């Protein structure tokens, strides 16, 4: 095996998945992370206000997220994902008080739509054909141009699902990205739609096992090591400025840049990348869920959008939340808790809480911004990109982040003719 080294810049999901894929095939690598903890936007931390370990944000996986599940299988934590074991989604309408379950059947033929008890209340079978529009959409089409974004079915199903996936108001969102998301979930049958969450925390499931996996294979992660610049000569990166001194790159060394788009643009001259972003707000409350509370509850006609039940606390996620960034945290906590108490049967008194506002949680999943997403290859022969903001064919999701990491690893491996080849099947799946 050649002694060439791959320097992976960034220890978020994209960087770690690239590292895991490469190290499993015997490649030598080093991961450099600017922060004092790995994980990026997919991590846990101990919150002093709550005296609990909470996630930076709530993340839902589906059983059809095959590449993310492959990553967890490689690092030995696939079993840490918890879910109901079937495609079942609980919803509540705060305005009407109605509750229902969406229960797709496992097969690809959606016979569940023939049973009104498994559909959204008050909807007709023919209304579900509206999603054929995004499934056939072009790259320039907005969702509002190819499907109706009004009515009970949209309000009670498509809007919450698409808003969560795109983190962008659905009518302005990319119809092509929405179609890709739907094609791999509901379009693949209920077997691909079993909801899964990291009940023990994102770091315990996605990050810490990956760090241990890399350490066991002598692949170090250097925390608190920020890349300040890259020196280029003609079509190659020749050294990395990591603070203390410059790290020279041999002719066989490679770099995977797995950092946010704004950081990548500072490091790579002329790089085109998304430059418009959407916020996410998460609220955490130190109160144990009541018996029988669904693991995940979709909420319509309220500020709350998704209510997550963890062993020792409950959390709320609100997507496309730019409108809430200037709202005082205390007012947000009180309003969200009023809804949570009504939904889950808690006492009205506000428990200990924490509000996390992430201003640039994801790129805006519009056709214009999607067109700015770069491919993994760059004009420098030894520099490759990874991140959910690169061209993965999906919105900014964990599945997309892992696919980008795997794709970057594949490019590196294929450039080393003496190294084992990593092959990615059509669609980016291993």
**Cα–Cα distance for residue pair 74/216, rounded to 1 Å:** 13
Instruction: Tell which of 192, 225, 244 closes a domain.
Output: 192
The 10s digit of each residue's pLDDT in 368-424 is: 999 999 999 999 999 999 999 999 999 999 999 999 999 999 999 998 755 444 444
Residue 417 has a pLDDT of 57
pTM of the model: 0.94
Would 261 be classed as within a structural domain? Answer: yes
| Domain match, 123 and 188 both | yes
Predicted confidence band of residue 98 (pLDDT cuts 50, 70, 90): very high
pLDDT > 90: percent of the chain: 92
For residue 349, the 8-state DSSP code is S
Instruction: Tell which of 130, 159, 192 closes a domain.
Output: 192
Q: Which two tokens stand for residue 113?
A: 């739509």
| Domain match, 103 and 215 both | no
Predicted confidence band of residue 426 (pLDDT cuts 50, 70, 90): very low
**Cα–Cα distance for residue pair 423/414, rounded to 1 Å:** 9
Cβ atoms of residues 256 and 6 within 8 Å: yes
| Domain match, 147 and 209 both | no
Predicted confidence band of residue 427 (pLDDT cuts 50, 70, 90): very low
Would 212 be classed as within a structural domain? Answer: yes
CATH of the domain at 15: 3.50.50.60
Instruction: Tell which of 130, 160, 192 closes a domain.
Output: 192
Residue 415 has a pLDDT of 86
| Domain match, 180 and 212 both | no
Tell how far CA 37 is from the center of its chain.
18
Strand partners, 297: 90, 307
Q: What are the start-end ranges of the H helices in 140-267?
A: 143-146, 152-153, 159-166, 175-184, 202, 208-215, 261-267
**Cα–Cα distance for residue pair 380/7, rounded to 1 Å:** 15
The 10s digit of each residue's pLDDT in 171-206 is: 999 999 999 999 999 999 999 999 999 999 999 999
Cβ atoms of residues 180 and 394 within 8 Å: yes
Domain count, the chain: 2
**Cα–Cα distance for residue pair 174/351, rounded to 1 Å:** 39
Angle of CA points 376, 142, 147, to nearest 5° = 130
Please report, to the nearest 10 degrees, the dihedral formed by the alpha carbons of residues 292, 293, 295, 300 taken in order: 140
| Domain match, 128 and 102 both | yes
Question: Going by DSSP bridges, is the β-strand pair 5-9/28-33 parallel, antiparallel, or unpaired?
Answer: parallel
Determine the average pLDDT of the residues in 246-273: 97
Neighbours of 49 (CB within 10 A): 12
Residue 130 has a pLDDT of 86
Residue 381: exposed, middle, or buried by beta-carbon count in 10 A (0-12, 13-18, 19+)? middle
Would 130 be classed as within a structural domain? Answer: yes
The 10s digit of each residue's pLDDT in 1-36 is: 458 999 999 999 999 999 999 999 999 999 999 999
| Domain match, 235 and 188 both | no
Residue 244 has a pLDDT of 76
**Cα–Cα distance for residue pair 382/212, rounded to 1 Å:** 27
Determine the average pLDDT of the residues in 49-74: 96
Would 362 be classed as within a structural domain? Answer: no
Q: What are the E-state strand segments in 97-214? A: 99-102, 195-198
Residue 311 has a pLDDT of 94
Cβ atoms of residues 25 and 217 within 8 Å: no
Domain of 183? 89-192
| Domain match, 269 and 381 both | yes
**Cα–Cα distance for residue pair 408/68, rounded to 1 Å:** 15
If one compares 132 and 260, the residue with the highest pLDDT of the two is 260
Cβ atoms of residues 279 and 320 within 8 Å: yes
Would 326 be classed as within a structural domain? Answer: no
Predicted confidence band of residue 245 (pLDDT cuts 50, 70, 90): confident
Q: What is the mean pLDDT of the chain?
A: 94
Would 347 be classed as within a structural domain? Answer: no
Q: Which strands form 306-309's sheet, in the order they lie side by side?
A: 99-102, 89-93, 296-300, 306-309, 314-319, 277-285, 353-363
Would 408 be classed as within a structural domain? Answer: yes
| Domain match, 176 and 266 both | no
| Domain match, 215 and 180 both | no
| Domain match, 182 and 216 both | no
Long-range contacts, stretch 66-71, CB < 8 angstroms, 24+ apart: 66/429, 66/430, 67/399, 67/402, 67/403, 67/406, 67/428, 67/429, 67/430, 68/398, 68/399, 68/402, 70/402, 70/430, 71/17, 71/20, 71/210, 71/402, 71/405, 71/406
**Cα–Cα distance for residue pair 31/17, rounded to 1 Å:** 11
Over 90: is that where the pLDDT of 243 sits? no
| Domain match, 100 and 182 both | yes
| Domain match, 264 and 411 both | yes
Nearest Cα to 385, choosing from 396, 374, 371, 398?
Answer: 374
**Cα–Cα distance for residue pair 146/168, rounded to 1 Å:** 16
**223: enclosing H helix or E strand:** strand 221-223
Tell how far CA 395 is from the center of its chain.
8
Q: Using the structure block, give the residue that is written with the tokens 């809007």.
A: 159
Would 307 be classed as within a structural domain? Answer: no
Long-range contacts, stretch 369-373, CB < 8 angstroms, 24+ apart: 369/174, 369/274, 369/275, 369/276, 370/139, 370/174, 370/176, 370/177, 370/274, 371/139, 371/140, 372/272, 372/273, 372/274, 372/275, 373/273, 373/274
């Amino acid at each position: 095996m050649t002694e060439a080294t791959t320097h992976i810049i960034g220890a978020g999901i994209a960087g770690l998945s690239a590292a895991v894929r490469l190290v499993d095939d015997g490649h030598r690598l080093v991961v450099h992370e600017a922060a004092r903890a790995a994980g990026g936007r997919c991590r846990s931390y101990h919150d002093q206000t709550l005296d609990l370990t909470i996630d930076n944000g709530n993340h839902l996986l589906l059983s059809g997220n095959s590449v993310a599940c492959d990553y967890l299988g490689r690092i030995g934590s696939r079993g840490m994902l918890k879910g109901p074991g079937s495609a079942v989604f609980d919803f509540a309408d705060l305005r009407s008080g109605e509750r229902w379950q969406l229960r797709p059947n496992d097969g690809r033929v959606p016979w569940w739509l023939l049973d009104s008890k498994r559909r959204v209340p008050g909807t007709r079978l023919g209304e579900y054909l509206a999603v054929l529009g995004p499934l056939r959409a072009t790259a320039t089409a907005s969702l509002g141009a190819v499907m109706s974004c009004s009515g009970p079915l949209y309000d009670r199903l498509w809007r919450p699902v698409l808003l969560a996936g795109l983190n962008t108001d659905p009518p302005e969102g990319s119809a092509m990205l929405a179609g890709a998301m739907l094609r791999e979930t509901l379009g693949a049958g209920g077997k691909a739609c079993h909801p899964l969450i990291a009940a023990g925390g994102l770091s315990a499931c996605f990050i810490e096992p990956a760090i241990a996996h890399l350490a066991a294979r002598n692949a170090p992660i250097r925390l608190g090591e920020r890349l300040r610049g890259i020196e280029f000569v003609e079509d190659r990166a020749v050294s990395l400025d990591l603070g203390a001194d410059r790290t020279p790159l041999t002719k066989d060394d490679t770099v995977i840049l797995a950092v946010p788009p704004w950081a990548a643009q500072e490091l790579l001259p002329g790089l085109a990348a998304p430059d418009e972003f959407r916020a996410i707000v998460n609220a955490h409350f130190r109160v144990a869920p009541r018996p029988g509370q669904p693991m995940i509850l979709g909420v319509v006609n309220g500020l709350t959008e998704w209510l997550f039940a963890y062993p020792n606390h409950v959390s709320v996620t609100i997507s496309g939340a730019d409108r809430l960034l200037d709202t005082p945290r205390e007012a947000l906590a009180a309003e969200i808790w009023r809804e949570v108490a009504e939904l889950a049967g808690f006492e009205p008194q506000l428990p200990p809480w924490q509000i996390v506002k992430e201003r640039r949680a994801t790129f805006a999943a519009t056709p214009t911004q999607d067109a700015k997403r770069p491919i993994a290859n760059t004009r420098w022969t030894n520099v490759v990109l990874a991140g959910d903001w690169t061209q993965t064919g999906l919105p900014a999701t964990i599945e997309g982040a892992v696919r980008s990491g795997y794709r970057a690893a594949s490019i590196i491996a294929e450039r080393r003719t003496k190294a084992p080849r990593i092959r990615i099947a059509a669609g980016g799946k291993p």
